[in-house]
A and B are shown apart, each in its own frame.
Chain A
């Protein structure tokens, strides 16, 4: 597999980071960057000219990772030339179907599943997309043995995310990329980097992603009980630093759900994904060392999926909320990935507002938050 990496900015123009692909032969291009830039016609026109045979996927992202470096205000472009892997890119808009589950089921039904090795998914958290229901829909037609990873688009102003396929960029889009063929190997890895504290509690009243009661308390009452007086603002701090971890039956790892907003009138909280009545939850906390270590662990798990051989490319989906805790240490988290891979030029990806990943190498894909997901891809020639 050959990679070419570029950045683009309307003022500074194009900048080649690495140039190896015979551009006309590239079959997949991933474009990450601020929404207002990735939608620009001049960018998309040039991309089409540069990579005429490629499926070009554009995803909003506050920060993007290219060649192992974090970029804030640039569009980051990675072009790939797969020799023996068939790439299928599909797009669906949630508003064209009944709901997010239906969108997922449609995508996975349309996909040619012969020799399917891996599915990369990009989704929108705003504009009526419910990503937990989306992945359940995708699994409706795809076995849990096929690893699925990906993430939810992010933007400084979260209501302004956009995704697109081949310059058709808009809101409410969901993109799935199938990788098929016997020559590709995939390793996925995730590590939460969060530990739980406090009593195990039950979700007692919930509607989709809005939780009204945890045991006999409202979410706001519960967070206030634990955090009041210890943080400047309970609501803001809970959103960034103290997500909920849902206990799962099949693994000791928890599904993380971050708080999108509190309703101060009734004390309810809207989370970034669905919860179910009866879910067992604890509050989670982390620190800088744990987050950096988890990036290293996720990379290690991901490499073990390809028998610890050298990956050709390493796709990183990292939650934007982690960078709000890491602050000065944000780059060190990606350095931990780079160091575990060896060649940082292979590392690319984006900062998301939700991550899609199985707990292990395969298994049901779940929507996570506050997580780093590393996917190692290798194509034998």
Chain B
């Protein structure tokens, strides 16, 4: 029998005849053999396709579950955090309405303003989070010194900003190309933490920013002598809605957004901290110069 025929066909031929296939039938038999081959291959292909699709479906499902859990948590925490200052505003409005003698109106207004500012900051954080997850990375030439300066200007309203000693040292021997909006989000969040979590009992609070640009990376170190973070909490500070300090007034989104943003920029962030002595964040983000 001619070798190379499909195995099943060879068996079938053997079953019905002991004789060799005559030469003039070879073309027909080759054609039938090919049909058998194609049939078997198509069966295997269908199984392969189902395997791949099933794996993809499973992994998409896992991803969706993760997103769904995050979303649940996000909605719960967000609504809670959005309502707290609103309830405080409503309470204050009630007091103002009921007070006959409006001797401390200014004090109430200040409290109203505080709650409103808090609400506004929280909403800004949510917008930053959403922008980071949706927008593409956009590379332009950046002046890091200028970005840090703008960040301090932006945060000037925070209590304790003006008294904090600010040390900035930027070493940029080559041009840096990166995503301005995202790098600003990182700087604003990390610098604002240094401002917010200063030690109240010392007069020489500082934040020291060292940035260096190479053709491959931008490395920024932001160091302060503030409250510091206790070791058990250090791992959790990048989690969504985690507040290491029970007195923290932030949204609990800040460092989560920082980490998500840096991830989007293909960079990384490290933190070192000694409780009671200070914290140092080191951020490393690729230079998009060559692209």
Contact = CB atoms under 8 A, between A and B. Distances in A.
A233 to B, nearest CB: 14
Interface stretch (A176-184, A223-231, A309-317, A355-363): A223-231
A198 B31 contact: no
B53 A199 contact: yes
A230 B41 CA distance: 6
Interface string A270-305: 000000000000000101000000000000000000
Nearest to A325: B38
A227 B47 CA distance: 11
Contacts of B41: 230-231
A222 B179 CA distance: 32
Contacts of B46: 197
Interface residues of A, number: 11
B75 interface: no
Q: Report whether over half of chain B's contact residues are helix, strand or loop; otherwise say mixed.
A: helix
Contact of A197 (B31, B38, B49, B56): B49
B52 A226 contact: yes
A327 to B, nearest CB: 8
Contacts of B31: 328
Contact of B52 (A225, A230, A287): A225
B166 interface: no
A285 B43 CA distance: 13
A198 B56 CA distance: 11
A374 to B, nearest CB: 26
B53 A230 contact: no
Contacts of B52: 198-199, 225-226
Nearest to A329: B31
A66 B285 CA distance: 66
Contacts of B14: none
Contacts of A199: 52-53, 56
B117 interface: no
A287 B40 CA distance: 13
B45 A226 contact: yes
B121 interface: no
Nearest to A237: B41
B48 interface: yes
B111 to A, nearest CB: 51
Given A199-B56, A287-B38, A230 B44 contact: yes
A234 to B, nearest CB: 12
Contacts of A225: 52
B212 to A, nearest CB: 32
Given A197-B46, A231-B41, A328-B31, 19 more contacts: A197-B45, A197-B49, A198-B49, A198-B52, A198-B53, A199-B52, A199-B53, A199-B56, A225-B52, A226-B48, A226-B52, A227-B45, A230-B41, A230-B44, A230-B45, A285-B45, A287-B38, A287-B42, A328-B27
Interface of B: 27, 31, 38, 41-42, 44-46, 48-49, 52-53, 56
Interface of A: 197-199, 225-227, 230-231, 285, 287, 328
Interchain residue pairs A-B with the least CB separation, the first 9? A198-B49, A197-B49, A230-B44, A230-B41, A199-B53, A328-B31, A199-B56, A230-B45, A226-B48
